[in-house]
Structure 1
Amino acid sequence: MNAGQASTDWRPSFLIIGAVKAATTWLLEQLQVNPHLYMPDPEPHYFSSEYHRGESYYRSFFDTYATTGRLLGEKSADYLAHPQAAQRLAAMVPNARLVVQFRNPIERAYSDYKMLYRRGTVRLAPEDYLTSRDSSQPRFLNDGLYAEHMRRWLDYFPQEQLHAILFDDVKQDAKEVVDSVSRHLGVDPVFDLGQSTKRANDGSERFLPMPFRKALSPFKGLVAPLRGSTWFETARDIFASEIAYPPLSADLRERLSDFYAEDIADLGAMLGRDLTHWTNGGTDHAVLRNQVAAR
């Protein structure tokens, strides 16, 4: 389907469903450059945590653009791992095109931990959360069981409606990633080189101290347009600093490799991709963190 055939229905025709901390925000921002597509900035989370808010809540993200001839889509990275999202989504938009982006689950789990650590949600060492699915933050481990989640999605959507890409692919050929996703959606690709090298919410970024962030939280919307300006960034840098995260030890990394090994093998078989580098000591964060975002 080309852009001229786009439906005037307000319901989205495509969705990025995950995974959390796998550079899905980078992909969102690349697709937002395409004039044939519309995707809202905030994640609706409608088919996961916000389903109780009803269809009118979800519709509010798209109504304004339903008659523009653009394909409507959204990104909510928690859909992939949510136990009910696939069934709910299939009931509303059974023909939707889906995009899923995978990242080495070990790096994904640690990146997720770091995000909640800098928010102050977790304060203990990685070992307290990444050694058992029964921890106080089971999402750290569970969200990386990609093959387990994909089997659930394939119960509701045929294989041809799902397009999978890897975090690794973005580093290797970011343009081809955007081109392949665009082909899956049925639109001519538009690639923004500036977006391709942009970092978004990288774990190595400098942050304001937690008390400052909490105090400024109510004004986040007002401050957003000022980000990037010279005076704003200069003022921010006076107080911001890199966060010293508790490290992911070699022993814990090895245990995580064992934990994910079977699921990684299953995912590799599903995708027809060799993913053994995810558990054989290879790592993605060192080579990629200066290239793309993981949000």
Structure 2
Amino acid sequence: MDSIDFIGIGAPKSGSTWLSKCLEEHPQILLSSKKTRKEVLFFNTDDIWGEHKTNRLSCYNRGFEWYLQQFPEPKVGYLRGEFSASYMADPVAYERIKEHLPNVKLVAILRNPVDMVYSSYWYFYHGTLLDVPESFSESLSKGMFIDKGFYYKHLKKFYDNFPADNIHVVIYDDTIKNPTSVTRDLYNFLGVDPSFIPPSIDKRINSAYETKSKLLKDIIHKCMVAIDRLELENVRMRILESRTLFNIYSTINKRPSQYPKMSVDDRKKCVEIFMDDINSLEKLLNRDFSSWKSVES
């Protein structure tokens, strides 16, 4: 059957790149990244982060046949899937997925929402797409990236529209403590050989980085803003979809780094913001997230 077997739906900055790599490396799985890229970004609206038009990207208007063409050809005994971390928090993605793929299996990976928001800030601070304040405290006061961390609110929509047996949730902390157990459970859920050990099992992928030249970063950002204002949609889409351009920029202007530690005050504010949602998530997933409620980093 010409269909898709599973979709990774999020969350961003929570280990989704590592998880999708472990999926891609399984010999019985044909991930979209083997033909095009990890994130197909089809079912989401075009307002991925809700912060700036230059980071908007959705391919839904290209049609479902285009979507299917982003994957390797189906083979007997193989599964096909993709991982787009923007789907989980998107307001309409769950409806679109249900419309086109009502029996699909769904995979989510969740990280402490406080750490996810903080990581998102630094990722975009050193990136070229969004205008972010010079301090995390200021971005927090503006509510930037916060909505992505309301995991219960977003996951509940999927649990209300898909069978619970078709949803598998991975916790980021578990990928650090026991990654082999995580991949085994994931492969079991999908119905492929659970004994396979992916080469990336102990690797950290898409780790923290910083820009070498703020000037170059700012120039590229201004170019993206200009392209958006001139409504050069095809140019913008080609740039955002280009793996080659991304790799060139990464080589020229990125280097590995460690983010500074979050202040105690900022962590307290974040914990207060997410507390009610975390409590509800514990009931939904029947799991203790006490560590997420701690102000200790």
**TM-score above 0.5, yes or no:** yes
2:11 to 16, 19, 41: 19
Amino acid of the structure 2 residue aligned with 1:131: S
Alignment of 1:56 with 2:65, yes or no, is yes
Write the deviation string for residues 5-39 of structure 1: whole angstroms up to 9, x where unpaired: xxx31x21101110011101101111111111111
Amino acid of the structure 1 residue aligned with 2:156: R
Alignment of 1:103 with 2:111, yes or no, is yes
Partner of 2:227 in structure 1?
Answer: none
Amino acid of the structure 2 residue aligned with 1:124: E
1:1-295 alignment, distance < 5 Å? 8-9=1-2, 11-41=3-33, 42=37, 43-48=39-44, 49=46, 50=58, 51-62=60-71, 64-67=72-75, 69-120=77-128, 121=130, 122-133=132-143, 137=144, 140-189=145-194, 190-192=196-198, 194-203=199-208, 205=209, 207-210=211-214, 214=220, 221=244, 241=255, 248-283=262-297
Write the deviation string for residues 77-122 of structure 1: whole angstroms up to 9, x where unpaired: 0100001011110111111111111100000001111111011422
Larger displacement relative to structure 2 (206-215 or 101-110):
206-215
Could you tell me how far apart the structure 2 residues matched to 1:80 and 1:114 are? 21
- Percent of residue pairs bearing the same amino acid type: 29
Contact 1:206 1:241 in 2 (8 A): yes
Give 1:197 shift.
2.3
Could you tell me how far apart the structure 2 residues matched to 1:256 and 1:142 are? 12
TM-score by length of 2: 0.78
Give 1:243 shift.
5.8
Contact 1:127 1:252 in 2 (8 A): yes
Q: Which runs of 5+ in 1 are unaligned?
A: 1-7, 227-232, 284-295
Change (3 A) 1:241 1:102: closer
Contact 1:126 1:246 in 2 (8 A): no
TM-score by length of 1: 0.78
Contact 2:207 2:256 in 1 (8 A): no
Change (3 A) 1:240 1:112: closer
Amino acid of the structure 1 residue aligned with 2:63: G
Change (3 A) 1:25 1:223: closer
Change (3 A) 1:209 1:132: closer
Change (3 A) 1:220 1:100: closer
Amino acid of the structure 2 residue aligned with 1:147: Y
Amino acid of the structure 2 residue aligned with 1:159: A
Q: Which runs of 5+ in 2 are unaligned?
A: 47-57, 224-237
Contact 1:125 1:246 in 2 (8 A): no
Q: Secondary structure at the match of 2:42?
A: coil
Q: Secondary structure at the match of 1:130?
A: helix
Q: CA RMSD in A?
A: 2.7
Give 1:240 shift.
5.3
Amino acid of the structure 2 residue aligned with 1:261: M
